[in-house]
Amino acid sequence: MGDPQEDLIRIEGLSLKFDEKTVLEDINLSVKKGDFLAIIGPNGGGKSTLIRCILGFLKPQKGKIFLWGKDSNHFSEWYRIGYVPQRAGQNLGHLNPMTVNEFLQLPSKWYRISIDLSYLDLLTEKFGIKSLLRKRLYQLSFGQLQRTFIVRALALKPELLILDEPSVGLDFMLQEVFYKSLAEFHKKGITIVLITHETWLITKEVNKVACLNQKLYFHGEHREFCKLAEENIYGFPTHVIEHHHW
């Protein structure tokens, strides 16, 4: 066991501009082992952009990102992170014959790590996609595809799970199952970063909240956030309804 307070992600003074438009400004944030962090904020607030910086897809003009204490530019152990992108599978064409089973095995091929097939079997059962393994990806509904991406993100037993608006496309019942499962994985020790702009999704399982709108307006404990929510943390008045799924 490592240090329970170990920083899995540490962001120091991160700023990013697209052309002349500031997207992120002087962001300082850390995600510690065992955190269940919800990043919230309005559309265009920079939530997904921040994640894309953390995962190395975008290079910020200023600041540093450390993953497990290593500069992200030199980080190589990407198998430790499970990632579900926003609008997963939107590039999928109907000519692609890749099956769900082949898709789920991809991370083990990228990172050259063997996959625990019995664990994968459990995951497919838990998320209700076991019967879909031989189907082509494009034959899946959006909700089924979303669950397939989630299973793939969990397939290599990651220490950190990053989800960018994962419940979009899931019906209410599946959202319940999904958030229950997420809480279970968190209890088992997986650190979770969840991006959403739906504040009602911040459940009792979330222990940290970051509120982002170009700048980081709030970063702290969930309870503290609920107290402050009635005030002006976005830069405009908001009203948070705390919602418990279970």
| Residues within the interface to other proteins (CB under 8 A) | 52, 55-57, 76, 78-79, 81, 83, 85, 89, 91-93, 95-99, 101-103, 106, 109-111, 134, 136-137
Distances (CA, A) of 53 to 59, 63, 81, 118, 124: 6, 11, 14, 33, 30
In whole angstroms, the minimum distance from the beta carbon of 39 to other proteins comes to 17
- Indicate the residue among 135 and 215 with the shorter CB distance to other proteins: 135
* Nearest one of 228, 219, 229 to 31, comparing CA atoms: 219
In whole angstroms, the minimum distance from the beta carbon of 67 to other proteins comes to 10
Task: Identify whether the C-beta of residue 197 lies closer than 8 Å to the C-beta of residue 43.
Answer: yes
In whole angstroms, the minimum distance from the beta carbon of 107 to other proteins comes to 9
Distances (CA, A) of 21 to 15, 96, 134, 216: 11, 37, 45, 17
- Indicate the residue among 149 and 225 with the shorter CB distance to other proteins: 149
- Indicate the residue among 122 and 133 with the shorter CB distance to other proteins: 133
In whole angstroms, the minimum distance from the beta carbon of 243 to other proteins comes to 30
Q: What's the token pair of residue 139?
A: 């034959």
Q: Which residue has the tokens 């739906």?
A: 198
Alpha-carbon gap, residue 203 to 240, rounded angstroms: 12
Pairing relation of β-strands 208-213 and 215-221? antiparallel
- Indicate the residue among 106 and 226 with the shorter CB distance to other proteins: 106
* Nearest one of 189, 137, 182, 140 to 163, comparing CA atoms: 182
In whole angstroms, the minimum distance from the beta carbon of 180 to other proteins comes to 26
- Indicate the residue among 96 and 131 with the shorter CB distance to other proteins: 96
Q: Which residue has the tokens 């402050």?
A: 228
- Indicate the residue among 43 and 76 with the shorter CB distance to other proteins: 76
In whole angstroms, the minimum distance from the beta carbon of 240 to other proteins comes to 31
